[in-house]
Amino acid sequence: MSKPNVRRSYAIEKHSSSSSSSTQTNKNYNLFYLSKHLKKVYPIGLDKTYSFSSLSLSLSQTSDDEKLSSAFQKRQVPAAIKNVSRALDYAKPCPSEKELMRCSWITTTSDKVYVQFHDECWGVPAYDDHRLFELLSLAGLLMDYNWTEILRRRELIREAFAGFNAKQVAKMGEKEIKEIISSASLMLAENRVRSIVDNAKCIVKIGKEFGSFSCYMWNHMNYKPIINRVRNARNVPLRTPKAEAISKDLVKRGFRLVGPVIVNSFMQAAGMTIDHLLYCFRHKECVNLAERPWRHV
């Protein structure tokens, strides 16, 4: 073969090799670009779930609360997308219970029932009359017990007071009242029991005037919770001007055990005031619930 032919053959082979290499490079680049784009559309963190089964918002009695928790449910990625990049098949590890940041008054020695109350109920806006009556009654018991002691007997108290159905509690006679007072498992003072029964009668009257106890309570809030953003527990107030105003009106209507401090505790538990500390994982979740358009349930 002549030298010109050899050079020409070598040039053709080199060009062919270069073209093949360039084509492979372009394919790799396109795959990388597509994978990078898909990661933006389907973030890796959403391929698997942050499943907090213990953080259910079932206590709020509203259907939209399920929508909030559904954000933690697994999002299915189409098979075609999984075939494009296997990078979508793994996720960041789920945070453990110990890694969750909670309000400073929840410690490693806190009772499980108290932690559950903090994680599931405290600060969740409540619109159900039974739930509001229950939380107001439990807050009234804080004069004798702390939250942990109350929550340990919560189911027993619910059963004793007909699930906090105000109409049924308002009809309780002397015999039923004395049975509750004499219960060794409930350990409720007579004046506390009678206060709950009297408050039930007041709630029935309010229902006739405002349509529901919920409408009455949330009307004081202009149908929107107060959202506080504090980092230190000492900055969480024991009483507020709003709590004082509500307390004053409740007393005027015949309610008992509804001082400003008790009312403020009730408002915190019922999500009328969001007082989770700013770094607590529940602060953002409760704020998301609080910022929904209000509607009576």
CB 142, CB 265: distance < 8 Å: yes
Is residue 254 a part of any domain in this protein? yes
- pLDDT tens readout for residues 19-51: 555 555 554 545 444 444 433 333 333 333 333
Q: List the domain range (segments joined by +) for residue 224.
A: 127-291
Spatial CA neighbour of 120 closest among 217, 51, 53: 53
Is residue 25 a part of any domain in this protein? no
Is residue 53 a part of any domain in this protein? no
Is residue 277 a part of any domain in this protein? yes
pLDDT-based confidence at residue 81 (cuts at 50, 70, 90): very low
- pLDDT tens readout for residues 138-194: 999 999 999 999 999 999 999 999 999 999 999 999 999 999 999 999 999 999 999
Is residue 67 a part of any domain in this protein? no
Whole-number Å distance between alpha carbons of 51 and 48: 9
Q: What is the pTM of this model?
A: 0.67
Is residue 61 a part of any domain in this protein? no
Say which CATH number the domain at 153 has. Answer: 1.10.340.30
Least confident segment among 34-38, 143-147, 276-280, 285-289: 34-38
Instruction: Give the pLDDT confidence score for residue 133 in this predicted structure.
Output: 98
Instruction: Give the pLDDT confidence score for residue 162 in this predicted structure.
Output: 97
Measured in degrees and rounded to the nearest 5, phi and psi for residue 85 equal -145, 125
Is residue 27 a part of any domain in this protein? no
Query: CA torsion sign, 76 to 79 to 80 to 81?
Result: positive
Asked if residue 97 has pLDDT above 80, the reply is no
Kindly report the three-state secondary structure assignment for every residue of 57-106. Answer: CHHHCCCHHHHHHHHHCCCCCCHHHHHHCHHHHCCCCCCCHHHCCCCCCC
Is residue 233 a part of any domain in this protein? yes
What is the count of structural domains for the chain? 1
Asked if residue 53 has pLDDT above 90, the reply is no
Binding-site annotation: residue ranges: 103, 118, 276, 280
Binding-site annotation: residue ranges for Zn(2+): 103, 118, 276, 280
